[in-house]
Amino acid sequence: MRFVPVTNGNASGVLTVSSSGATASATLVGTGLRQSVLEMTSALIDLGSTGLGGAPLTRPVSLRNAGNAALTIDRISVGLPFTLTNGCPLNLLPGETCVVTLELNPTAIGTFNGSLSVVTNAPGGSRSVPVRGQVQARPEPVVRVSPASIGFGDRMGGSQSPPQRVTVTNEGGADAAGLSLSINSPHFLIVNTTCGNVLAAQSTCFADVAFQPIAFGPKRASFSVGSTAPTAATALSGAGCRPPSASPGRGTRLSCAP
- C-alpha 201/C-alpha 180 separation (Å) is 16
Strand, coil or helix: 201: coil
State the amino acid at position 233 in one-letter form: A
State the DSSP string of 96-120: -EEEEEEEE---S-EEEEEEEEEEE
Could you report the per-residue pLDDT of 54-104, keeping only the tens digit for each? 889 999 999 999 888 899 999 999 999 999 999 999 999 999 999 999 999
Helix/strand number for the chain, H first, E second: 0, 20
Between residues 40 and 3, which one has the greater pLDDT? 40
As a whole-number percent, the residues of the chain with pLDDT over 70 amount to: 92
Contact (CB, 8 A) for 36 and 67: yes
Kindly tell me if the per-residue pLDDT of 250 is higher than 70: no
Q: Could you count the other beta carbons within 10 Å of the beta carbon of residue 138? A: 19
Q: 20: phi > 0 → left, psi -120 to 50 → alpha, else beta; which? A: left
Percent of the chain topping pLDDT 90: 64
* Residue 122 near residue 102, CB atoms below 8 Å: no
Angle at 43 between CA 39 and CA 49, to 5 degrees: 125
Q: Which CATH architecture has domain 143-242?
A: Sandwich (2.60)
pLDDT at 45: 95
pLDDT at 254: 64
Summarize the confidence of residues 38-51 as an average pLDDT. Answer: 91
pLDDT in tens, 127-177: 999 999 999 887 889 899 999 999 999 999 889 999 999 999 998 889 999
CATH 2.60.40.10 domain span(s) along the chain: 38-136, 143-242
Q: Which residues contact 121 (CB under 8 A, 6 or more apart)?
A: 36, 71, 72, 74
23 vs 84: CA distance, rounded Å: 61
What CATH code would you report for 38-136? 2.60.40.10
Q: How many CA atoms lie within 13 A of 37 on its CB side?
A: 7
Q: Is the peptide bond prior to 139 cis by the omega test (within 30 degrees of 0)?
A: no
Categorize the per-residue pLDDT at 5 as very low, low, confident or very high, splitting at 50, 70 and 90: low
Distance CA 45, CA 48 (A): 9
Q: How far apart, in Å, are the Cα atoms of 147 and each of 77, 206, 234? A: 33, 12, 7
What's the one-letter identity of residue 59? R
pTM value is 0.55
